[in-house]
Every structure is written in C-alpha cells, then in structure tokens.
C-alpha cells in the first residue's frame, strides 16, 4: 500500500513544475503584454495542429496546461480538443519498452502517433469551424474582462481608490476575479504576483491531484492489475472500445499504462487501445472541471468520449478487413 502512496506522490511532484511554470507564464501574459496579440496567435490557423503535436509528447502536463489556458480564454475549444485527443501520457513509452518484437511495436507506435495527430487536429479544426463564434470559453461569473481595459488604466483606478481612502471591496473579501486574473494580489508587488500567487495555486491544485492519484491508485491496488487486464480482454471484441474508453478517462496516468500493457500482452485489439488513448488525457479533465466550468468540462468530456468510441469501432472494423 505504501507503494501506492509513493506513486501518487511522485506523479504529483512530476506535474508541479508544469503547473508552476504555467501559472507564472499566464501572469506574465496578462500583466506584461497586450492580451489581444498572444490570444490571436494562440487561436490562429495552426493552433489545433500545434496542440495535437504537443499532445503527442508523452507527458500529462500538456493536457493540464491546455485545460488551464482554455479556462482562461487563451486557446480555442478546438485547440483544447486537439490536445486532449492526442495525449497518451506514458503509453507510448510503455509500448516501446514492451515485450513485443521491435518491428510490430515500432509500427504500432508510429501508426498510433499518426492517427492521434490526424484525428486530434481534424477534430480541433472541426470544433473551431462549427463553433467559430463560441470557441473561447466564457469567463466564470465575477471575472473582470480585462481585454476591454488597458492595463495602465486598471492600475490608475486602483491608485485613485487608495488616494480617496476607499477600501477595495470584493464579493469574496479578496478579489472576485478568477484565480489567474491580473488584479489578484496586485498590491503585494511583483514578487507576490509573479511567484507567490502562482506557487500557492500550484500547491492547491497539486494537493487535489495527489488525492485523486491516491484514490485511483488504491482502486487499482484493490482490484489487482491482472484482474483489470482480464476484465478488458474477456468481454469480447466489440465491447473493447467502450470498456477501454471508460478506463481511459480515469484521471490518472496509470490508466494509459494499463491500456498499453494490456495491448502488449494481447488482451485488447488496436481499436480498443486507440479508443482508450484518444479518450485518456491524464489529469487534464480535472483541470478542466474546476470551479465555474464544471458543466462545460463535462460536456467536453462527453464529446471526447463519443468521438473516441466511434474511432475505436472504426479501427476494429478495419482490423477485421485487414
């Protein structure tokens, strides 16, 4: 059982540098730049393709980054979907070091990367095309839309408020902005804005991630990895995409590892593996379904699952033909 706790801790520690860098970058983006320019770049014509390419990199940090950036209106829905579909966590590494012969596993990894890159980018472009007027997520309730106000004017308003002796009042007692808004901790200086505040946010998210990792790690420990493999492999060819998607959406890197190992052992077909890894985005779904965006996050999760199931069944059908 201590192995489960240590694995959860190590998985969380591996994610923390990505979160800290992300929070610092977003603070710099919103404080030191004209938000409109980087936003146009991040929502440009190449954004879904770039997102899919980043998702291919075998680390769950990119799905978390994409979810955070989407929640704060810095990338489009299509770019987010492209990252989520392309993400495979450690599955590619597990497949490369699996007991399969080198030629089959290199072909499997190459085909998997190509399909996930293609489907991720295609789904991303389709989302942005269909939802062209709604690609950016609405700000959570109470968030100040700083895109319509100059940064210097914002500082000037704060300065005038203090000169008049007025206390800066917010609904929550601190700031009604979302967790990464430019006005947060403004009066604490650059050290507070660019390091302390991102560090506190990182620790808060990391604590939640650790609890989730610990919960699912305990579940796998209780059920037994061999039992999970037997369950996936013993339910029939045409049930595999559905079952693998349900495993893939578990917000834990262990889900992708189980899918890759099961495929390497012959427990599931390529269609099952593809569907599970398309749906799997590690801890990205947790970051997406935080406060203020739970309903939207669940809708995106449902769409990704349906797309993954359809792709998995298509791959199963093609597998029978070839």
Q: In terms of Cα–Cα distance, which of 79, 17, 11, 25 is closest to 283?
A: 11
CA 96 to CA 290: how far, in whole Å?
34
Q: What is the tens place of the pLDDT at every residue in 186-219?
A: 445 777 777 888 888 778 777 866 876 787 778 7
Q: Tell me the mean pLDDT in the region 235-250.
A: 86
CA 273 to CA 277: how far, in whole Å?
6
The per-residue pLDDT for 229 is 65
177: domain range?
Answer: 2-321
Please report, rounded to a whole number, the percentage of residues in the chain having pLDDT higher than 70: 71
Which comes out higher in pLDDT, residue 148 or 234?
A: 234
Q: What is the tens place of the pLDDT at every residue in 91-115?
A: 888 888 887 888 888 999 999 999 9
User: Among 181-185, 234-238, 265-269, 272-276, which is the least confidently predicted range?
Assistant: 181-185
String of DSSP letters for 176-207: -S-TT-TTTTGGGHHHIIIIIHHHHHHHHHHH
Q: In terms of Cα–Cα distance, which of 41, 63, 74 is closest to 116?
A: 63
Q: In terms of Cα–Cα distance, which of 160, 189, 185 is closest to 174?
A: 185
Q: What is the C-alpha radius of gyration for the chain, rounded to an integer number of angstroms?
A: 21
Q: Report the domain count for the chain.
A: 1
Neighbours of 157 (CB within 10 A): 13
CA 241 to CA 118: how far, in whole Å?
19
pLDDT at 71 over 80: yes
Q: Tell me the mean pLDDT in the region 248-264.
A: 82
Q: What is the tens place of the pLDDT at every residue in 261-310?
A: 788 877 789 999 999 999 998 888 888 887 667 888 999 999 999 999 99
Q: Between the ranges 9-18, 21-30, 149-158, where is the mean pLDDT highest? A: 9-18
Say which residue the tokens 């199963």 belong to. Answer: 316
């Amino acid at each position: 059982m201590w192995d489960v706790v240590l694995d959860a801790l190590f998985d969380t520690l591996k994610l923390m540098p990505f979160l800290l860098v992300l929070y610092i970058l977003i603070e710099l983006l919103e404080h030191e730049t004209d938000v409109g320019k980087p936003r146009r770049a991040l929502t440009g014509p190449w954004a879904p393709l770039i997102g899919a390419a980043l998702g291919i990199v075998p680390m769950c940090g990119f799905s978390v980054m994409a979810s955070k950036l989407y929640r704060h209106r810095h990338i489009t829905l299509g770019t987010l979907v492209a990252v989520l579909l392309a993400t495979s966590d450690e599955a590619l590494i597990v497949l490369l070091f699996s007991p399969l012969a080198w030629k089959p596993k290199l072909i499997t990894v190459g085909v998997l990367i190509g399909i996930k890159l293609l489907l991720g980018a295609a789904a991303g472009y389709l989302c942005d095309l269909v939802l062209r007027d709604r690609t950016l997520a609405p700000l959570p309730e109470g968030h100040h839309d700083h895109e319509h106000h100059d940064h210097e004017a914002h500082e000037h308003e704060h300065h005038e408020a203090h000169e008049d002796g007025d206390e800066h009042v917010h609904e929550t007692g601190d700031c009604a902005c979302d967790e990464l808004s430019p006005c947060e901790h403004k009066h604490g200086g650059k050290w507070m804005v660019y390091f302390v505040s991102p560090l506190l946010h990182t620790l808060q998210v990391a604590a939640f991630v650790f609890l989730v990792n610990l919960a699912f790690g305990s579940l796998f420990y209780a059920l037994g990895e061999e039992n999970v493999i037997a369950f996936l492999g013993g339910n029939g060819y045409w049930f595999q995409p559905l079952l693998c998607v349900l495993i893939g959406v578990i917000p834990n890197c262990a889900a992708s590892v189980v899918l890759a190992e099961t495929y390497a052992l012959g427990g599931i077909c390529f269609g099952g593996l593809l569907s599970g890894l398309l749906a799997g985005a590690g801890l990205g779904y947790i970051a997406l379904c935080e406060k203020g965006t739970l309903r939207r996050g669940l809708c995106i999760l449902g769409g990704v699952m349906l797309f993954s199931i359809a792709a998995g069944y298509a791959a199963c059908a093609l597998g029978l033909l070839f």
